[in-house]
Structure formats: structure tokens, C-alpha cells
Amino acid sequence: ATTSTTKASTSTTKTSTSTAAGSTGTAPVYGQCGGASWTGPTVCASGSTCTFSNTWYSQCIPS
């Protein structure tokens, strides 16, 4: 039973890693998508647009 639980935890960790890897290319709605020295994603999730806020911050706003 303990081994099964460990395997389940490993699967959950892998799923989280995949989600993180997927979000590397696309910023979530209301997430940061640009700005000076920003190194994260610059493409917003479907249905949102990267909107300039200031030199240091742009945010994905729902269309």
C-alpha cells in the first residue's frame, strides 16, 4: 500500500511538472506576460491579450 501511495505521489509530481512546462510557453489569464527584464512567457492564454501596464509589467487581460 505504501509503494502504491509513493507511485501515486510520483505521478502527481510528474503532472505538476508537465503543467509547469506547459505554462512556460503561455502566460495564464491575469498572469504577467511582459516587462523590462521579464524572462517568462510573453504569449497569453487563449481568450486573453497581453496588455501593457508599465515599463516593468504587462498582464494578460481577458478579451
Distance CA 5, CA 51 (A): 44
Its pTM stands at 0.60
Whether 17 maps to a domain, the answer reads: no
Whether 55 maps to a domain, the answer reads: yes
Whether 11 maps to a domain, the answer reads: no
Distance CA 52, CA 58 (A): 4
Reported in sequence order, the residue ranges of the chain that DSSP labels E, i.e. its strands, are 32-34, 48-54, 57-62
> Is a pLDDT exceeding 90 seen at residue 57?
yes
> Is a pLDDT exceeding 70 seen at residue 50?
yes
Domain assignment of residue 60, given as a range: 24-63
Q: Residue 17 is placed in which grid cell?
A: 511538472
pLDDT for res 11: 38
CB count within 10 Å of CB 34 equals 20
Whether 16 maps to a domain, the answer reads: no
pLDDT for res 24: 57
Number of domains in the chain: 1
